[in-house]
Structure formats: C-alpha cells, structure tokens
Amino acid sequence: MTALQQPRRIWLTGATSGIGLALAERLLADGHRVALSARNVDKLDALASGFDKALVVPLDVSDRNAVRVAGQHLETQLGGLDLAILNAGTCEYLDARHFDVDLVERVFAPNFFGALYAMESALPLLRRARDQDGSRPLLAATSSASAYLPLPRAEAYGASKAALSYFLESLRLDLDAEGIDVSVIHPGFVKTPLTDRNDFPMPMRISAEQAATAIVKGLDRRQLDIHFPRRFTNLVRLMGILPPRLRRRLGLRMVKAPQADEQTSGGDA
C-alpha cells in the first residue's frame, strides 16, 4: 500500500529550512494538505503563501505544552493525520576538552525530546485517521546516518539521533498491531544551513531537493529505513558493524586537530 499517491493530511515539523523546506515545497506542490510547523512565523507564512492547502502551525518542538496545543489545533483543522513527518532538529559539536552537558541538553531538546512531544500529539490523530477510513497511517522522523556509526565530536548529535532511531524502531513493533507504520529517515550529508557551517569534508553531499525526493519515494513505499545517498549510507552502515577495535581505528583517522577557534555548530542532515 502506497502512502502518497493521493492527497493526504500531513504534519511536517522543521518546515522552513534545509530538508524540511524542500519537503514542504514538494508535498504542497503535489497537492497534499500540509500543516507546517517551525519557530519562525514569517518564514512559515511565506512558505504557505499561494497554497490553499497549507496550514501554518508555529511551534517550538522543545516546548511540550506548545506541542500539545498544536495537536489540538491540528485536530480541529484536519480531523486526523495520515502522515506525520517529524523533521525538526539541530546540531552542535562537543569539544571533549571542555565537557559541556548544557550543550548535550540543547541538542537532545529538539532532536529527541521534541520528537517525542510531537509523537505524543500525532499518535491520537494518526489513530483517528485509521478509524475514519480504515487506512494505515504512517509516522516518520528524521534521524541521521551518524546514528549508524560513532563519529568524533558528534557525542551529542549522534547520540540524540541514535536514541531517536532506537525509540522509533522499538515503537514500530508496538504500533504494528494498531495498524500504524513507522519509517526512520537516515540522511547522509545534505546541503543545508546547518551543514554549511561544518568545518570538515562532507563526502557525497547532496542537495536538499535530492533529499526530499528520496524521502518522498521512501515514504510512498513505506520503507522502514529511508537512507541516502545509498553509496555513502551503505558504507557508514557497514563501518558501524565492524568490531570495536576497527571502528576505533577508523574513527581516530577522522579526529580533527584541536584549534582554539574551532567551529562547534553544524550537522549532517
């Protein structure tokens, strides 16, 4: 059963930048009813302009109460959800010389807990759509290829994405009997405002539009693991299952020499 061959009611978080923006433009152009969430109201309004089926839902996903209110608004406006794409996130890199738990908490707030808050609001709406027409709704979230393999300086970002991937794969098992599918999205390097800040090589980096195409195709096929570009992500997955000693050896080759003015923000999705 395909997921996007006819107009759907979709909630997309992180809709105004990078992959989320490319996804929003693609889904709206395809005629779906899309609830667009992000923090910047002006950008949301500009994105929704010209699309009758766009619904602007300003939101900071790290604010649990705000996400609950957004869920109530979605229920009133849409009645239910056929698809939820939880895409909001951020990235900061950790300098182990100056161990910073505040940094880790800042990254986990949107990447992991923000996704959980959105799930809390989305699941009742996915169940409602299922009950309305007997369809099989889909929950999807953007993790990262870094969830496959520990990387230097990615302690906070990679851990938040690995936690998200594990949570969703576990949730997938428990939701199956309810008739709700779960897809996990693992992008490699994608050109976005986050990755533009990276200070290291990004092999096989693709455009946000290419990422959106891969995601839409994967969602339509209800793929469990949507990862791309596959030449890169298959290599990272392979490295992730190597024995720890070999993983350590490969990881040490990627360690960047410490610098006083080292950039600490960026990402890979």
Please report whether residue 70 resides in a domain.
Answer: yes
Q: In the prediction, which pLDDT does 208 show?
A: 95
Please report whether residue 269 resides in a domain.
Answer: no
46 in helix, strand or coil? helix
Residue 265 has pLDDT above 60, yes or no: no
Q: In the prediction, which pLDDT does 80 show?
A: 97
Helix (H) or strand (E) holding 90: none
- The mean pLDDT of 25-38, rounded to a whole number, is 97
Residue with tokens 């909001």: 88
The answer to which of 4-8, 99-103, 118-122, 227-231 has the lowest mean pLDDT is 4-8
Strand partners, 71: none
Q: E strands, the chain, where?
A: 9-13, 33-37, 54-56, 83-86, 138-142, 181-187, 225-228
| Res. 79 pLDDT band, cuts 50 70 90 | very high
Please report whether residue 258 resides in a domain.
Answer: no
Nearest to 138 by CA among 178, 196, 94: 178
Q: In the prediction, which pLDDT does 258 show?
A: 56
CATH label of the domain that carries residue 23: 3.40.50.720
Chain-centre distance for alpha carbon 185: 7
Please report whether residue 209 resides in a domain.
Answer: yes
Please report whether residue 3 resides in a domain.
Answer: no
Please report whether residue 208 resides in a domain.
Answer: yes
| Average pLDDT across the chain, whole number | 92
Q: In the prediction, which pLDDT does 267 show?
A: 55
pLDDT tens digits for range 127-179: 999 999 999 999 999 999 999 999 888 999 999 999 999 999 999 999 999 99
Please report whether residue 4 resides in a domain.
Answer: no
Q: How many CB atoms are located within 10 Å of the residue 46 CB?
A: 11
| Res. 262 pLDDT band, cuts 50 70 90 | very low
| Res. 2 pLDDT band, cuts 50 70 90 | low
Please report whether residue 144 resides in a domain.
Answer: yes
Domain with 167 in it? 9-253
Strand order across the 54-56 sheet: 54-56, 33-37, 9-13, 83-86, 138-142, 181-187, 225-228
Phi, psi of 55 (to 5 degrees): -120, 120
Nearest to 136 by CA among 82, 56, 85: 82
pLDDT tens digits for range 224-246: 999 999 999 999 999 999 899 98
What is the distance between the alpha carbons of residues 228 and 225, in angstroms, rounded to a whole number?
10
pLDDT tens digits for range 189-216: 898 887 878 777 778 889 999 999 999 9
What is the distance between the alpha carbons of residues 87 and 64, in angstroms, rounded to a whole number?
16
**What's the domain count of the chain?**
1
What is the distance between the alpha carbons of residues 83 and 122, in angstroms, rounded to a whole number?
9
Q: Is 93 tagged catalytic?
A: no
60 close to 37: Cβ distance less than 8 angstroms: no
Residue 263 has pLDDT above 70, yes or no: no
Higher pLDDT, 187 or 205: 187
Indicate which residue of 93, 117, 148, 157 is catalytic: 157
Could you give the percent of the chain with pLDDT greater than 90? Answer: 80
